[in-house]
Amino acid sequence: MEELKKILSIKRFVDDAKSYNILKNLWKDVFKETIGIDVDSYVNNFYSNGKEILDGNPILSTLIKNNKAIRIIQLENDPEEPIFASWTDKIIINGIELEELVISLQLNPDTYVEAKNLILLFSANTLTPSILLGINEKYDVKWNLGKLSNAVHKADYNRIFHGFRSLYESSLQDKNFNLTYFKNFHSNYVRYPWHAITFIGDSPLHHSYSNFIRNIDLINDLVSINQSIDLDKLKNADEYIVLLVGQWNTHDYITKLHTYSEEAEKEFDFLKDTVPSNR
């Protein structure tokens, strides 16, 4: 049991022959213990020079009985990649049509058990589309919560929103402000996958997240002057004001910036309090 825990805790293995072989042997044992077969691989996992490809795609494949095949794709630990996904398809091997089960996962105790169960069900001809859908939806929720947690607990928005609310029309007119808040906002906006996070169903978390996204989109349109400038290339406030007054009334600009920042910060605080940190 302790040895299994150590293996399941391996998060980095790509191009690491020692860790890679430990994980590959784990999957060989899974097939032996779960459905009683020795691995009969159908995917060529070697370069033309004979060196093994150690990228986890796949980490193991095998033919099983009844014209079936199973391919395991293992990913390194990465919050931006799906935790677990599985699907079936038809493939042709040596002129024979096979039904293939593909399992793509980041390995942990939960996904390990899930994969073993799917292998057993698939082998026994009892794996149904509804079972696959249920499992995939469950891990899709976990993945999106993980992405959201990573973003809200790392993004530096509270300080930025406070900086925006401290900016007044006179500051713009006198060109007496620092572009740092604008550049930091843009950096946080593009760095994290805010628009790639999705939720299934309806919930207070979903509402708060949607409101947050709407407001940071509006702020981004403001600070980028309707996405017409590259903030990273601007050197000082003078340049910014020249571009700003060509498209915005400064009073309206500040009013909207304060309103959107206040709304965004309210939702951001709710998200931070609601979604636990991954750390």
Among candidates 205, 179, 175, 172, which has minimal Cα distance to 276? Answer: 205
In-domain check, residue 161: yes
Give the residue from 112, 127, 142 where a domain finishes: 127
Do both 16 and 116 map to the same domain? yes
235 and 122 assigned to the same domain? no
Closest CA to 147 of 81, 76, 75: 81
pLDDT at 59: 97
Shared-domain flag, residues 45 and 120: yes
Q: How far apart are CA 180 and CA 174, in angstroms?
A: 17
What is residue 242's predicted lDDT score, i.e. its pLDDT? 86
Q: Are residues 52 and 110 in the same domain?
A: yes
Distance CA 254, CA 258 (A): 6
Residues 230 and 173 grouped into a single domain: yes
| Host domain of residue 62 | 2-127
- Which of 62-93 are b and which e, b meaning 16 or more Cβ less than 10 Å from the residue's Cβ? bbbeeebbbbbbbbeeeeeebbbbbeeeeeee
Count other Cβ atoms within 10 Å, centred on residue 161. Answer: 26
Q: Is residue 184 a part of any domain in this protein?
A: yes
Residues 77 and 173 in one domain: no
Residue 143 resides in a domain: no
Q: Which of 81, 108, 127 is a domain's end point?
A: 127
Whether the CB-CB separation of 155 and 97 falls below 8 Å is answered with no
Q: What is the pTM of this model?
A: 0.77
Residue 62 sits at the vertex; the CA angle it makes with 60 and 65, to the nearest 5 degrees, is 155
Instruction: Classify residue 105: in a domain, yes or no.
Output: yes
User: Do 200 and 247 belong to one domain?
Assistant: yes
Answer whether residue 224 is part of any domain.
Answer: yes
- The domain tally of the chain equals 2
Do 123 and 160 belong together in one domain?
A: no
Residue 15 lies in a domain: yes
Each residue's pLDDT, cut to its tens digit, for the chain (279 residues) gives 678 999 999 989 999 999 999 999 999 999 999 999 999 999 999 999 999 999 999 999 999 999 999 999 999 998 888 999 999 999 999 999 999 999 999 999 999 999 999 999 999 999 999 999 999 999 998 899 888 998 999 998 999 999 999 998 888 888 777 888 899 999 999 998 888 888 777 789 999 999 999 999 999 999 999 888 888 888 888 888 888 888 889 999 999 999 999 999 999 999 999 998 876
The answer to whether residue 210 sits within a structural domain is: yes
Residue 135 counted as domain residue: no
Residues 166 and 110 in one domain: no
Same structural domain for residues 115 and 177? Answer: no
Q: Which two tokens stand for residue 149?
A: 């947690």
